[in-house]
Amino acid sequence: MIWMRNENGHLLYDSRIHIVNGFTVWFLKQIGFEWNETDMEYLTGYINYFRSLGYFKV
């Protein structure tokens, strides 16, 4: 599998496995689920959490 990003920063992949998420996207929309934007507060919390587990030693 080869991973890369296009000129817009979108993830491109080459694989024999094709990801189909139409049903999941539809279902989440039906129940009112929305992903939050990934901001610095989220990233800081994420990194601090894994630091607390000893996963990151930075």
pLDDT reported for residue 6: 82
Q: Are 29 and 39 in contact (CB under 8 A)?
A: no
Q: Report residue 7: phi and psi, to 5°.
A: -65, -20
Tens-level pLDDT at each residue, the chain (58 residues): 456 778 888 887 777 877 789 999 999 999 999 888 889 999 999 889 999 998 877 6
Domain boundary assignment for the chain: 2-52
pLDDT reported for residue 26: 94
